A = this chain, B = another copy of it.
Amino acid sequence: MRATFMYGAGDVRVEDAPDPVLREPTDAVVRIVRSCVCGSDLHPYRSMPFSGRGTPMGHEFLGVVEDLGSEVSGLKRGDLVVSPFAYSDNTCEFCCEGLHTSCRHGGFWGAPEVGGAQAEAIRVPQAAGTLVAVPGVGEDSALLPSLLTLADVYGTGYHAAKKARVNERTTVTVIGDGAVGLLAVLSARQLGAERIVLMGRHADRTDLGREFGATDVVAERGEEGVAKVRELTGGDGTHTVLEAVGHTSAYEMAVGVARPGGVISRVGVPQYEEAPIGFDSLFGHNITLTGGPAPVRAYVEELLPAVLDGTVDPGRVFDLTVDLEQTPDGYRAMDQRDALKTLIRF
């Protein structure tokens, strides 16, 4: 089959790779129908040291079940399935608590033994726990882009809002106008928030953010951006801050706009390890810091109905579609901000 590998910063290649096969009785093999490039793929795209051995790329996909191990229940060949960006058994105590990213038998795509999803096919460990079949949806359905967001960006935006306990009484700031930030806006709106400030400086993206529910847009960054959000909120900041970027500067803005007693919920993968959390940043104002890799598997059933009936259309975050062989162009377009999010079709 053909599959995508990254060899270093800026160096993405589509190459021949062995066809995936069942290894464990709990595995499935899935032929991929739609995949995409993630904002988090841009971190290594900008910084990964060159290696002679490529890293398999991609962790979001819709596909059709081609083969099933003997112990996989609840799925059959030919099922169209959504896969979260982490695999999980959906039965261990962490999964039962809704923390599938810490599953005792789980893991993440991209490791050499499981491969990546920017490829024609993939082996899925813990298939019964991981994959969610979507009956009645065909391989050419107009719903595919929105369904694909359940694999990561929609569930991740939703995780940010859920962990922050967004509700009809909370004001919200969303930091970042990437796909996750925009879907954090959509999620906050779904959870009842009426005041949602979106911090982002790409008008085409923040325009989509307004359609998703943002009531205010702040294009300024840094201290200027913080001052603007404070001005919009009577000086206090917002009850919740959903941080969907991952850089130190975004964290600092989050601290700056959080209301005393409020919550900062991070879903942008931190590109730092140390940051201010002492008396002058979090502690003195009783600000809570939460978030992490989203256990999107926990949210699929909850988010699926509104996608299927068209109430929400999170797939609008895709603004570029490429064939698998053009995947390197899809990375480049996102890196240069020519594309918000690249869909890969097969």
Residues on A lying within 8 angstroms of B by beta carbon are: 94, 97, 99, 101-102, 163, 260-261, 266, 269-270, 272-293, 295
> Which residues of the other chain, B, contact A260 by a CB distance below 8 angstroms?
94, 99, 102
Docked Cα-Cα span, A266 to B273, in Å, equals 19
Query: Known: A101-B286, A286-B291, A288-B289. Contact between A269 and B279, CB under 8 A?
Result: yes
A-B contact pairs, 19 of them (CB 8 A): A94-B260, A94-B261, A97-B261, A99-B260, A99-B286, A269-B279, A270-B283, A274-B274, A274-B275, A274-B276, A274-B277, A274-B278, A277-B277, A282-B289, A283-B293, A284-B292, A286-B291, A287-B292, A289-B289
Among A278, A286, A288, find the residue whose CB has the most chain B CB atoms closer than 10 A: A286
Query: Known: A260-B102, A270-B279. Contact between A289 and B292, CB under 8 A?
Result: no
Quote the shortest CB–CB distance from A121 to chain B (angstroms). Answer: 29
- A273:B269 contact, CB within 8 angstroms: no
> Which residues of the other chain, B, contact A275 by a CB distance below 8 angstroms?
274-275, 277-278
Docked Cα-Cα span, A269 to B286, in Å, equals 11
> Which residues of the other chain, B, contact A99 by a CB distance below 8 angstroms?
260-261, 286
Docked Cα-Cα span, A286 to B291, in Å, equals 5
Quote the shortest CB–CB distance from A175 to chain B (angstroms). Answer: 15
> Which residues of the other chain, B, contact A287 by a CB distance below 8 angstroms?
292
Query: Known: A260-B102, A289-B289. Contact between A273 and B284, CB under 8 A?
Result: no
Quote the shortest CB–CB distance from A342 to chain B (angstroms). Answer: 24
Quote the shortest CB–CB distance from A257 to chain B (angstroms). Answer: 15
